[in-house]
Structure 1
Amino acid sequence: MSSSLVVQDLGFAWPDGDRVFDSLSFTVGPGRTGLVGLNGSGKSTLLRLIAGVLRPASGTVHTAGSLGYLRQDLTLDTQMPVDELLGIADTRRALQAIERGETDVAHFTAVGDDWDVDERARAVLDRLGLTHVDLDRRIGQVSGGEAILLGLAAQLVRRPEVLLLDEPTNNLDRAARTRLYEAVAAWPGVLLVVSHDRALLELVDQIAELRDGEIRFFGGGFSDYEAAVEAEQETAERLVRVAEADVRRQRRELIDARTKLDRRVRYGQKMNDTKREPKIVMGNRKRAAQVSAGKHKTMHQEKLEQARERLVEAEEAVREDDTIRVDLPATEVPAGRTVLTVHARLAHVGHQVDLLVRGPERIGLVGANGAGKSTLLRTVTGELAPAEGSVDAAVPLRYLPQRLDLLDDRLTIVENVARVAPDATPNQIRSRLARFLFRGTRADQVAGTLSGGERFRATLAALLLAEPAPQLLLLDEPTNNLDLTSVRQLSQALEAYRGALVVASHDEPFLESIGITRRVTLPT
């Protein structure tokens, strides 16, 4: 039987009553499927339901074949040996006992047909760039990125027919991402991967979009999905224009019909007043006119109501305008002006960094995990002191850390921006927030109640609207844990930014989208 994943009538709600899914059904067969959707749409929740980590309120999940799951918040026991994580510890111990000459039947049962377990595991680790990781090594001795790759290695060694991956490239450096891409491209069974990584999503056979509790499938990689959605939106917007024109026409026809009926009523009243016809004839005419008027009015009202319903249906097919449009002239830095000078040895990592940033340069800070990218950014902000040397920022700067913890959860969005822009009036703040898609009462939301995407936009607004305007912007892995819509919105906002930019990121498509002018690679 071919491997597959079948979800039937799945229902799930959180304990507070917030319903995530209601009768969700879909089937995924052999091949690679990328699962996309806005932050908060339920992508990770769906994977946890499929994996059995969460229990559905209704419906069923059936996998034809064994199931593997690499979760986003992978937490590993630091004392666990690598072979135990890979699930081969018992087999290796039994094999080692047999090689020592022990003949206990339990050892042979444990080994089964897996006599090349060491070679097979070693081949998987080597393919993922973990050639230096010994099978007897403790997990706590590897880096965070290596731990993610080890989690993937555990799945590859097990060889499940159905594999679920939740944001597997988060926190991986460029080399590690490349190896993961290769493993995904070669996957032979059913693969369902949640990701915001465009390069990874270009490798899949189809995109599954989770939106409003339902899934739609689009053939091809992410570029094909974007093209299909764009074509759909063009059609939907055209249908809205047609429906709006129909509503206007039906409204005019109803007004014209009422005007004609009013004229008939006035004419009949005039004939009655002048007594030009017999009373019984005028009574019959009056009753016939009333019946005709009622039918005519009802017919036009029904047509208008139907036109309005078609307009509502057409509008629902159009996705909300989620484009950030800002103008940030105060962030401009003249070409050639010295913005940042670093001649320092970094604390903790010990690297000597010599960096000179002039004018509105856009620098991509790259390097392997542990090379000190975050340390350098925190040293520039003054959060960390250099071990030796000096750091001089000659312009106002702002820093966006990976944690996105710049907002006070107790305050509204307006109040959070007012904290960093005290001279701006409430009306000025609201006007600027509207360009970040916080219009009207949305700007009065308390930060602690925001969804992931909303929180990111509010943080970005507070960063870019701060006073004095930042002419040097430091971003630390800004696309980690962002959905693709938020990544696009970040790119849009940075298009309007006119200052110098230093971005630590492993996300190559994102770096290309924001027009990086040069890359600075930190040594390992």
Structure 2
Amino acid sequence: MPATIALADLSWATPDGRPLFSHLSLSFGPQRTGLVGRNGVGKSTLLALIAGALPLQTGAVTVSGTLGVLRQGAHLRADETVADLFGVADGLALLRRAERGVATMDELAEADWTLETRLEGALARLALDVTPGTPLAALSGGQRTRVALAALVFAEPDFLLLDEPTNNLDAEGRAAVAALLAGWKAGAIVVSHDPDLLEGMDAIVELTSLGATSYGGGWSRYRALKAQELAAARHDLDEAEKRVADAARRAQEAVERQARRDGAGRRKADKGDMPRLLLGMRQDSAERSAGAGARLADARGAQAADAAAIARARIEVLQPLSITLASTHLPAQKVVLALEEVTAGYAEGHPILDGLPLTVTGPERVAVEGPNGSGKSTLLAVIAGRLAPWSGAVRVHTGLALLDQRVSVLDPALSVLENFRRLNPGATENSCRAALARFRFRADAALQGVASLSGGELMRAGLACVLGGEAPPPLLILDEPTNHLDIDAIEVVEAGLRAYDGALLVVSHDLAFLQAIGVTRWLAPGRLRN
């Protein structure tokens, strides 16, 4: 029997009572499935429920087969070695004892003589040049993620459950993950916003507030089908709005006809040529007829309005976000940032930045590239004043905003709306609400506590609070801004940053994103490339 995962009538709500999905039923077989959807819709929660990491609220999850769940770098113990992560430290120690001739006969009978070969093969599949004894603390975050993926491959599970596996990975790491999944013959459920990775999926499942929809094929086919659905939804909305207008027109015509009849009746009564009893009967009949007509008109109007509301909600789910930004009024060719032969690092005698020069002029767009561990985060820390250079100077000539991966510009103890007011103290209530609504924090959503937001919602809130005001900063520094954003939100950020007229300094491994926002220069710490 092939391995399967079945979800039956599954419902889940956050601790504050916000429903993520209701009565969800899905099944997964031995194929590669991309799980997509907007931030906060419940993708990571769904993976955790499948893995048994969260208790069920209602419904059932049935797993036939073994699961391999990606352990993100943040959850790895720094004192572990690669062998510890793979669970083979004891087995390797036994092989070393056997080589020295000190293993017992019972131990030799238990020895796995293929262990080292299989271990090397798993590491090679993720393009890793590490040894079993390498401490995880010596690896960058991206390298840890790849080691964790290699450990999953080594275990040969029936299903891989991967939550954003290419986050924090450089180009080589992304290519290795794509190659791994391209050759994976068992089942896989992959939460990702990476179009290149999703292109190789056998199916795409989209999770929305309306439920889950499965699409056969990879990313391109999914987008084509979504475009057809959006066109159909817009047609349905047009038709529904026509019915609303038609119902309103008919109701008005009915009111006008009744008014004419009432006028005629009054004129007849004024003549006095009709018995009062008959006149009263006619009046009662007219009132009953008018009341029935009004009730019918109200019912038709309500039905049409309901249909229009459903159509609008459908479009809200299907269509990408869109935002606009105010101008920074940054003059062309104004120097916004200058690094003068900066040398910096964390351990004396081992500089990470060594005599780095850098000048950014408005509205230039500079991307910071390089493999994991090459000094990108160190550069941002120096520019932001979090790390003092050993030598050289850092000169920032305009206001700047830094959105790091934790979006630490936001106060987690406050709501989204309160953070916006804190960062934009001159904004009115209406302007605050309007700015947040452009980033889909409407009505009560703007009152959510920042601490309760998902990773993607957090980045969206940070962008809203920093860029949504009347005076966006002339220099914006972004550290891996697409790491926790869903695909629709990435498209919004791309569109917003294309409209942004300030200077950009962006750390990202996402080449498609960098090209979309119009990067004109690439910087690798230690060298410049135009």
TM-score range, shorter chain: 0.7 to 0.9
Q: Distance in 2 between matches of 1:265 and 1:469?
A: 62
* 1:125 aligned partner: 123
- Residue of 390, 396, 401 corresponding to 1:398: 401
- Which residue is 2:306 aligned to? 309
Alignment match, 2:199: 202
Partners of 2:204 and 2:373 in 1: CA distance: 33
Question: 1:116 is aligned with what amino acid?
Answer: T
Is residue 2:519 matched to residue 1:516?
yes
Q: Report the counterpart of residue 323 of structure 2 in structure 1.
A: 324
The aligned residue for residue 347 of structure 1 is: 345
Q: CA deviation at 1:38?
A: 2.1
Give the superposition deviation at 1:179.
Answer: 0.9
Consecutive unaligned residues in structure 1, runs of 5 or more: none
8 Å CA contact retained: 2:433, 2:442: yes
User: Matches of residues 410-421 of structure 1 in structure 2 within 5 Å?
Assistant: 410-411=413-414, 413=416, 416-421=419-424
**Closer, same or farther in 2 for the Cα pair 1:213/1:49, shift >3 Å?**
farther
Shift, 1:411, TM fit: 4.7
1:72 & 1:134 partners in 2: Cα distance? Answer: 20
Matched, 1:470 2:473: yes
Residue 191 of structure 1 is matched in structure 2 by: 188
Select 1:488's aligned residue among 471, 491, 497: 491
Indicate conservation of the 8 Å contact 1:396/1:468, yes or no. Answer: no
Instruction: Report if aligned partners of 1:6, 1:27 keep a CA contact under 8 Å in 2.
Output: yes
Q: Which residue in the other structure is 1:215 paired with?
A: 212
Instruction: Give 1:67-466 correspondences, 5 Å limit.
Output: 67-72=67-72, 74-95=74-95, 100=101, 104-105=105-106, 107-108=108-109, 110-111=110-111, 115-131=113-129, 133-212=130-209, 214-268=211-265, 270-271=267-268, 274=271, 276=273, 289=286, 292-319=289-316, 322-330=321-329, 332-335=330-333, 337=335, 339-348=337-346, 349-352=351-354, 353-411=356-414, 413=416, 416-422=419-425, 433=436, 435-437=438-440, 447-448=450-451, 452-464=455-467
C-alpha change, 1:419 and 1:162, in structure 2 (3 Å) is closer
Structure 2 portions without partners, runs of 5+: none
One-letter code aligned to 1:345: T
In the other structure, the counterpart of 1:26 is 26
Residues 314, 469 of structure 1: alpha-carbon distance in 2 compared, 3 angstrom cutoff: closer
Check whether the contact 1:167–1:194 (CA below 8 A) recurs between aligned residues: yes
Identity of aligned residues (%): 38
Q: CA deviation at 1:57?
A: 2.3
1:249 is displaced (CA, Å) by 1.2
SS in 1 for 2:316: coil
Alpha carbons of 1:394 and 1:267: their partners in 2 closer, same or farther (altered >3 Å)? closer
Indicate conservation of the 8 Å contact 1:398/1:474, yes or no: yes
Range 13-22 or range 469-478, more displaced: 13-22
How many angstroms does 1:160 deviate by?
Answer: 0.8
Question: Within 2, Cα distance between the matches of 1:304 and 1:421?
Answer: 43
> 1-side partners of 2:30 and 2:468: how far apart?
48
Contact 2:456–2:484 at 8 Å: present in 1 too?
no
TM-score by length of 2: 0.87
- Contact 2:342/2:391 (<8 A) preserved: yes
In 1, the alpha carbon distance for the partners of 2:423 and 2:302 equals 49
C-alpha offsets along residues 179-233 of structure 1, whole Å, 9 cap, x if unaligned?
A: 1111111111111011222322222222211112721112333343333323322
Instruction: Tell me, yes or no, if the aligned pair for 1:343 and 1:390 is still in contact at 8 Å.
Output: yes
Aligned partner of 2:342: which letter? A
Q: Deviations over 1:290-342 (max 9, x none)?
A: 55545444443333332223222222212167311113142x24147574244
Q: How far apart are the structure 1 equivalents of 2:164 and 2:467?
A: 28
Contact 1:261 1:293 in 2 (8 A): yes
The answer to whether the Cα contact below 8 Å between 2:342 and 2:393 also exists between their aligned partners in 1 is: yes
Q: What's 2:44 paired with?
A: 44
Q: Distance in 1 between the 2:233 and 2:441 partners?
A: 24
The answer as to whether partners of 1:24 and 1:213 remain within 8 angstroms in 2 is no
* Amino acid corresponding to residue 323 of structure 1 in structure 2: S
Summarize the Cα distance change of 1:455–1:266 in structure 2 as closer, same or farther, 3 Å threshold. Answer: same
In structure 2, relative to structure 1, the CA distance for the partners of 1:459 and 1:245 (3 Å cut) is: same
Does structure 1 retain, via aligned residues, the 8 Å contact 2:427–2:469? no
Q: 8 Å contact 2:374–2:525 — kept in the other structure?
A: yes
Query: Contact 1:342 / 1:354 at 8 angstroms: preserved in 2?
Result: yes
1:34-55: per-residue Cα shift (whole Å, max 9, x none)? 1112222211111111111122
Alpha-carbon distance between aligned partners in 2 of 1:287 and 1:257, rounded to the nearest angstrom: 18
User: Secondary structure at 2:75's aligned position in 1?
Assistant: coil
Q: Describe the shift of the 1:137–1:98 C-alpha distance in structure 2 as closer, same or farther (beyond 3 A).
A: same
Q: Write the distance in 1 (CA, Å) between the matches of 2:291 and 2:435.
A: 52
Residues 333-375 of structure 1 show CA distances to partners (whole Å, capped at 9, x for unaligned) of: 4147574244212223433222233342211101111111111
**Which is worse superposed, 472-481 or 213-222?**
213-222
> 2 CA distance for matches of 1:118 and 1:458?
47
| CA distance in structure 1 between the aligned counterparts of 2:266 and 2:426, rounded to whole angstroms | 69
Deviation string, structure 1 residues 414-443 (Cα, Å, up to 9, x no partner): 554454455666666666555555567766
Aligned equivalents of 2:419 and 2:87: distance in 1?
48
How far apart, CA to CA, are the structure 1 residues paired with 2:133 and 2:428?
Answer: 62
Letter in 2 for 1:408: D
